[in-house]
Amino acid sequence: METTGATPVQARCVGDTAIIYASDYLNKLTGERIERECKNQLEAGRQAVVINFRDTELVNSIGVSILMGVIDAAEQSHARLIFCDVNTQSASLFEMLGLTKHVRIAADESEALSWIEPELNASATAM
Amino acid sequence: METNNQRLLHTFAALADLGQEIANTADFEEMLRSSFHLLLGSVAIRRGAVAQYDRQGDTLRVISARGLEQTPDTEIPIAREHARELASPGASLTLADASAEATRFMEEHQNLFASAEIQLLLPLVVHERLIGVVLLGEKASGEKFTAEDVETLSALARHIAVGINSHHLLGEVKRKAEENRRLYDGLRTIYKETVRAFAAAIDMKDRYTQGHSVRVGKYSEVIAREMGWGEDEVEGITIAGYLHDIGKLIVDLSVINSPERFSAKDSAEMNKHPAAGYEILAPISHPYADIPLMARYHHERIDGAGYPDGLKGDQIPAGAKIVTLADSFDAMTTDRPYRKKLPLEDVLMDFRANTGTQFDPAVVCAFCRAFLNEIEGRKERRLLNLLNRNYEDVEAVTPLLNQMLTEFDGGAMAATTGH
């Protein structure tokens, strides 16, 4: 769990997947915490990252920019990245700005994990 | 329509947030980084950089970057004519429709822009002067930049340009303030040196009291410091000491240099010098407070029997009380035409006898404490060095100094000296 700053970012791991919980307002401060936590998890060797937006009501422009950085980091690490529990407003924003071309949006955490597991297994078999 | 509204709201929100970021003048780098993030996030651009134009160095220095290999401090050379071209109105440039001049600039750095997949260059311009550029890579959607995108990004870039320019102006103001401070310090030094020269000139007029004004300044400085005065005030009282007798310039030479005690007529003439000193000093803008008043009142007495105004007790400024004691101390410890210098013990006995009538007890105590501190090696020898040429065995007055401290200031004052 990332603990720098006033409010730590909540995170947990399910196998090789890190699940990170975004806060209610994704702005510079909270966004940078999420970005740091994602990068830490990727550096620790996680092959998939799920960002859960269940508490997020609003994402501003800096938040979008930071999520672009997270997408870049995941692509560079060849890791899967899935957003889940995204409210209608944010989902529509991600769609409008083209983020959904780089990241899939699952309805909830279990759906996200259900997408990831077979992919990771397939990768493992291929290796 | 729904999407258009959402895009509009997102853009407005970005503009509002940018206003807040630009207002952060405390941390320029952070302001710029956040503003640049906002710009990237407004249209969801994956990578880009913002670079500041250095007119002297003919370079664009990257100060914030995202998703690029170029890190802050990367420098991109730019010719003057290209900079001028970029500053011309409406010069936002996509690779497809760049003007001829800008194309030359883009061509010059083709490898750099191609490797970074730069799609759009936005000049940062304030009052038709190039401040910097924003270099932007592709949109997350992979689509080309639309005219609306360019409009939105240009509007945000204008705010960033103003932010950078304000930072420059603030830096310029700070530099000017520092320059003014140095200039002021220089003027203060010149002022002090001029005053010292003046003090020497005053003392030259009286062949019996050469060096008197400078010594009174130095004694006053030691006493004021001992009384806990601030550095500026101590400097002020030193100057007041140097200038306290400036009024003697209007007193006739024959009176000043009379080998005998003054007659009543000569005394009346001589007693004009404090008020005359005030008249000379008052029109001058001194960098320290109350210097003319210290000259005017240095012959006043606590009991009201002094001159020129017969002030009493607290009516007399503290600085004038210090100069009074310093003046008397120097007068009694130097030879005069009508008498030799007094033994140090007699000087202190005179102070003791006149404390509360002529001299302020707090000033006498500070003087005694400073004297003791020097004799007992706790402080640098300032008073003693000024006295030593005239006196030997100054240590002999230690018991008397302690006694005076106990009498005029009680145990607390003696305790501060370790006695």
Q: CB distance B38–A72 less than 8 Å?
A: no
| Cα–Cα distance, B383 to B414 (Å, whole number) | 19
Place B175 in a pLDDT band, splitting at 50, 70 and 90.
Answer: very high
Report yes or no: A93 at the B interface, CB cutoff 8 Å. Answer: yes
CA distance B404 to A110: 90
Residue B253: the pLDDT is 80
Q: Which two tokens stand for residue B9?
A: 């709201």
Residues 42-71 of A with CB under 8 A from B: 60-66, 68-69, 71
Checking if the pLDDT of A44 tops 50, the result is yes
Q: What is the mean pLDDT of residues B99-118?
A: 71
Neighboring chain B residues of A90 at a CB cutoff of 8 Å: none
B206, amino acid identity: D
Question: Region A102-122: what's the mean pLDDT?
Answer: 88
User: What pLDDT sits at residue B30?
Assistant: 85
pLDDT confidence tier of residue B67, bands split at 50, 70 and 90: confident
Least confident of A118-122, B150-154, B389-393: A118-122
Q: Which helix (H) or strand (E) holds B177?
A: helix B147-205
Strands (E), B22-155: 48-54, 59-66, 75-77, 93-94, 120-126, 129-136
pLDDT tens-digit readout, B76-93: 899 898 888 888 776 656
Which of A63, A66, A97 has its CB closest to that of B140? A97
Look at residue B29 in the predicted model and tell me its pLDDT. Answer: 84
Q: What is the pLDDT of residue B71?
A: 67
A31, closest residue in chain B (CA to CA): B37
> pLDDT confidence of B186, banded at 50, 70, 90?
very high
Give the pLDDT of residue B413. 42
> Can you tell me the mean pLDDT for B372-380?
94
| The most confident of B70-74, B126-130, B159-163, B355-359, by mean pLDDT | B355-359
Q: What average pLDDT does range B229-242 have in this prediction?
A: 95
Taken in order B340, B341, B345, B349, the sign of the CA dihedral is positive
Q: What is the pLDDT of residues A78-98, one digit of tens each?
A: 999 999 999 999 999 999 999
